[in-house]
Amino acid sequence: MTGTSSPRARLRRLLLSAPLLAAAAAAAAAETPGTVKVGVVLPLSGANAKFGATSRNGIELALQGINAAGGIKGLGGARLELVYADVPTPNAAGSAVQRLVMQDKVVGVIGSFVSSITIAGSEVTERAGVPWITHAFSDKITGRGYRNIFQITPPGSVFGETQFGFALELLDRPEAPVEKVAILYEDTAYGTSQAAGLRAAAEAAGVEVVVDEAYPLGITDVTPLVNRLRAAAPDLVFPVSYLNDSLMIIRGMRQQGLDMPTIGGAAGYVIPDFQRGLGDLAEGVFSISPTNYDLVPEEAEAYFDTYGEFMTQEAQSYAAALELMADAISDAGTTDPQAIRDEIAANDYCEGFVAGMPGGCPEFDGTGLNVKAVPVFVQWQGEDLVTVYPPELARGPAELGE
């Protein structure tokens, strides 16, 4: 029987006595077969395949770094090995995660870019007692109060609040006061989470929300949205969406001569395809982002050299997630998932990709939320995405136009 109680009991024993812990660690290290497996759950086919692919690029880069630096030191230099599961929809998540945990015996899981897939998959790891580190945005991920899930990004609502706060601090100036704003978002877990944060922040700041529209995922025509923008004439526009809609919204706005500052909600607004699709129209568009590649110049260069495009925020965040996981395995000195879980919860790692996380080294609260996570404000300047706010993290000045 592999019930959840037995690893927990084992864990309690381990924690109670330090000498016993050391002995167990040594024993585990001695019997380590030389590799330790981590599961990677990503949408590699289907509608979000692009984001899955870039996440994987980042993870592979981090993996090379870890193994080149001597593998998992706490396990006698065991090589870290990844087992991928392509999970395009939540319905497929349960079986894939069960396979990773029970058949491939992974000691932890990282993924998945999409919130709903993360929620569905982590139901299985929660019951199996295996830790999962995610970079998905939904508030629900850590809102469930689970023990084995860790969210390294701010949840969507905080994300939305910060998106609004930063925008106001940077763009509300005497010559261009911000009195009315528009919120456009796709009706997905990510879109609605973030819109809720934007809405709350606008209300708190006493700024009027003149357009507040959800639209269906896969919308084929955004003209109705743009018409509403034109009629309401907001001072700022906050669109939250994946790529196709973001291109249509920006083009539609420019067609009708709407050039108020636009502050995207990460996802589609901070990937190279955005600038490739819009060309000069991308210039000056802002976005909130969990992190940005100019915060980790060395890793960003290695990524660029390997993949030929800049490192996206999800690539960077998932690389950081793998490093956190690897360090926790090393610190635990055992392949017992619950011991690894406790090491993640008490994270002390702050190098490599993790050093580039804007809020500083991750610290997780009881629900697994990284309380130190803060997003950054980025702006398209040429083919580059430049961190422009907050001042302590900015790598360049914001171009405010006019």
Partner 1 sequence: MKRDLTFILCALAVLAAAGLALDPGGYAMRILCLVFLTAAMAQSWNIMGGLAAQISLGHAAFFGIGAYASTILQVEAGLSPWIGMWIGMVLAVAAAMLLALPTVRLRGHYLALATLAFAEACRVIANSIGITGGPQGISVPYMGNSPAMMQFSQSGGYLPVIGALFALVFGLFALISRSRLGYMLRAIRENEDAAELSGVSAVRVKIAGFAISAALSALCGTVFAQFMYFFDPDSIFSPLSISVRMALVAIIGGLATLSGPLWGAVVLVVLEETARSRFSALPPGVTPLLVGSLLIATVLWRPAGIVSLLPAPGGVRPGWLKWRKRNA
Partner 2 sequence: MLPELLQFLQAVLDGLLLGGVYGVIAIGLTLIFGTLNVVNFAQAEFTMIGMYVAWFLWHALGIDPLLGAVISFAAGFALGAAVEASLIRPVMKSTGAAQIFLTVGLMMVLENGALLLFGSDYRSVLTPYQTTAYRLGPLFVSAPYLYAFVAALLGAGLMWLVMMRSWLGRAIRATAQDRMAAELSGINTRLVHMAAFGIGTGMSAFGGGVILPYSSVSPTAGAQYVVIMFLVVVLGGLGNAAGALAGGLAAGVIQSLSGLYAPIQMQNLTLFVLFLALLYFRPNGLLGGKRA
Binding footprint of partner 1 on the chain (CB under 8 A): 1-4, 44-45, 49, 52-53, 83-86, 89-92, 94-96, 98-99, 102-103, 116, 119-120, 123-124, 126-128, 138-140, 144, 146, 187-189, 191-193, 214, 216-217
86 sits near partner 2 (criterion: CB under 8 A):
no
81 contacts which partner out of partner 1, partner 2, none, CB within 5 to 8 A by kind? none
Q: Least distance (Å) from partner 2 to the CB of residue 370?
A: 28
Q: Least distance (Å) from partner 1 to the CB of residue 277?
A: 22
105 sits near partner 2 (criterion: CB under 8 A):
no
Q: Which residues ranging from 35 to 74 are in contact with partner 2 (CB under 8 A)?
A: 44-47, 49-50, 52-53
Q: Least distance (Å) from partner 2 to the CB of residue 29?
A: 40
Show the CA angle centred on residue 241, arms to residues 377 and 286, nearest 5°. 25
In the complex with partner 1, the residue whose CB is nearer, 126 or 384, is 126
Interface with partner 2 (CB under 8 A), residue from 34, 177, 216, 397: 216
Work out the number of other CB atoms within 10 angstroms of the CB of residue 252.
19
In contact, 347 and 328? CB cutoff 8 Å:
yes
Q: Least distance (Å) from partner 2 to the CB of residue 54?
A: 9
In the complex with partner 1, the residue whose CB is nearer, 94 or 272, is 94
Residue 165 makes CB contacts below 8 A (sequence gap 6+) with 201, 205
Task: Tell me the three state secondary structure of residue 96.
Answer: helix
391 sits near partner 2 (criterion: CB under 8 A):
no
77: left (phi over 0), alpha (psi -120 to 50) or beta: left
Q: Least distance (Å) from partner 2 to the CB of residue 165?
A: 26
Element (H, E) at 181: strand 180-186
62 contacts which partner out of partner 1, partner 2, none, CB within 5 to 8 A by kind? none
218 sits near partner 2 (criterion: CB under 8 A):
yes
98 contacts which partner out of partner 2, partner 1, none, CB within 5 to 8 A by kind? partner 1
Q: How far apart are CA 275 and CA 229, in angstroms?
A: 22
* Helices 243-255 + 223-232 axis angle, to 10: 50
Q: Report strand pairing: 149-151 vs 108-111.
A: unpaired
Q: Which residues ranging from 242 to 281 are in contact with partner 2 (CB under 8 A)?
A: 243-244, 247-248, 251-252, 254-257, 273, 276-279, 281
* Cα distances (Å, whole numbers) of residue 178 to 228, 263, 289, 388: 18, 13, 22, 19
Q: Least distance (Å) from partner 2 to the CB of residue 68?
A: 27
Place of tokens 């003149």: 210
Q: How far apart are CA 241 and CA 122, in angstroms?
A: 24
**Strand ranges (E), 15-124:** 35-42, 79-86, 108-111
Task: Tell me the three state secondary structure of residue 115.
Answer: helix
Q: Least distance (Å) from partner 1 to the CB of residue 60?
A: 12
247 contacts which partner out of partner 1, partner 2, none, CB within 5 to 8 A by kind? partner 2
In contact, 223 and 263? CB cutoff 8 Å:
no
Q: Least distance (Å) from partner 1 to the CB of residue 40?
A: 9
Show the CA angle centred on residue 93, arms to residues 87 and 99, nearest 5°. 95
Q: Least distance (Å) from partner 2 to the CB of residue 340?
A: 31
Q: How far apart are CA 315 and CA 52, in angstroms?
A: 9
154 contacts which partner out of partner 2, partner 1, none, CB within 5 to 8 A by kind? none
Q: Which residues ranging from 277 to 316 are in contact with partner 2 (CB under 8 A)?
A: 277-279, 281
Q: Which residues ranging from 332 to 351 are in contact with partner 2 (CB under 8 A)?
A: none
Tokens encoding 334? 């055992």
Q: How far apart are CA 78 and CA 352, in angstroms?
A: 19
214 sits near partner 2 (criterion: CB under 8 A):
yes
Closest to 242 in 3D by CA, of 294, 189, 309, 295: 189
Helices H / strands E in the chain, number of each: 15, 12
68 contacts which partner out of partner 1, partner 2, none, CB within 5 to 8 A by kind? none
Interacting residues toward partner 2 by CB under 8 A = 44-47, 49-50, 52-53, 187, 213-216, 218-221, 223-225, 227, 230-231, 243-244, 247-248, 251-252, 254-257, 273, 276-279, 281
